[in-house]
């Protein structure tokens, strides 16, 4: 079983802002470009799940216009980006170093910005992956965010084990509008 992970297109925000659960729009031209690129690659008839955030929904709609053979997108909030709480829409450069230090000291459970921990993101993504494997049992597409894609990579590498530190968090994610395909043939629990 393969899971295709499509990251939303570049957002219409100034560079360098922290955004996760903020429902900011994606750039229309970049969304159309990402949809065209994905439409040319994706296999026919994939079931589609999409984050509940508008920027992912924009891409799902643009892709569906080009590829009506793909399943009607099902919205799943577990595919939403991490909630950075009070740091949402704040320039990364002005977030106090002490806030980052507290997060790195307790990477699993510290709620950076006061809302959601890294482990909470991993747990909700792991639950969505388990549901996908037991409920669908076939290749699928998720239209989502960099943090979710990294969480999928973490779960595929480490199973259900708790993340110990930031060094375990995958560094790679597709650029905005990018697509990656991962095999779900590995067990999702450790």
Considering the domain boundaries, does residue 67 fall inside one? yes
Residue 68 in domain: yes
In a domain, 62, yes or no: yes
Domains contained in the chain, number: 1
**Domain residue limits at 140:** 2-183
Q: Residue 190 falls within a domain, yes or no?
A: no
Q: Tell me, yes or no, whether 189 lies in a domain.
A: no
Give the pLDDT mean for 48-58: 97
176 part of a folded domain:
yes
Residue 119 domain flag: yes
What is the CA 188 to chain-centroid distance, rounded?
Answer: 17
**DSSP assignment string, 9-42:** PPBSS-TTEE-SSS-PPBPHHHHHHHHHHHHHHS
CA 115 – CA 36 distance, rounded (Å) = 35
At residue 165, the pLDDT reads: 95
Please report, for the domain that includes residue 124, its CATH number: 3.40.50.1240
Axis-axis angle for helices 118-135, 146-158 (nearest 10):
70
Please name the residue that has the structure tokens 């943090």. Answer: 147
Residue 188 domain flag = no
- Under 8 Å between Cβ of 155 and 183: no
The model's pLDDT over 65-76, given as tens digits with 9 standing for 90+, comes to: 999 999 899 999
User: pLDDT tens-digit profile of 99-149?
Assistant: 999 999 999 999 999 999 999 999 999 999 999 988 767 899 999 999 999
pLDDT score for 166: 95
């Amino acid at each position: 079983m393969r899971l295709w992970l499509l990251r939303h297109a570049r957002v219409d925000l100034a560079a360098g802002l922290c955004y996760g659960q903020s429902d900011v729009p994606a750039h229309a031209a970049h969304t159309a470009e990402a949809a065209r690129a994905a439409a040319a690659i994706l296999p026919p008839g994939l079931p589609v799940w999409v984050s509940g955030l508008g920027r992912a929904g924009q891409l799902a709609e643009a892709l569906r216009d080009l590829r009506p053979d793909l399943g009607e997108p099902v919205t799943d909030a577990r595919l939403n980006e991490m909630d950075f709480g009070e740091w949402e829409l704040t320039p990364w450069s002005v977030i106090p170093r002490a806030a980052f230090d507290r997060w790195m000291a307790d990477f699993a459970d510290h709620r950076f910005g006061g809302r959601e921990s890294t482990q909470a993101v991993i747990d909700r993504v792991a639950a969505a992956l388990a549901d996908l494997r037991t409920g669908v049992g076939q290749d699928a597409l998720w239209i989502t965010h960099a943090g979710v894609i990294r969480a999928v990579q973490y779960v595929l590498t480490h199973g259900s084990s708790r993340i110990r530190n930031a060094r375990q968090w995958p560094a790679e994610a597709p650029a905005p509008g990018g697509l990656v395909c991962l095999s779900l043939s590995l067990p999702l629990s450790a």
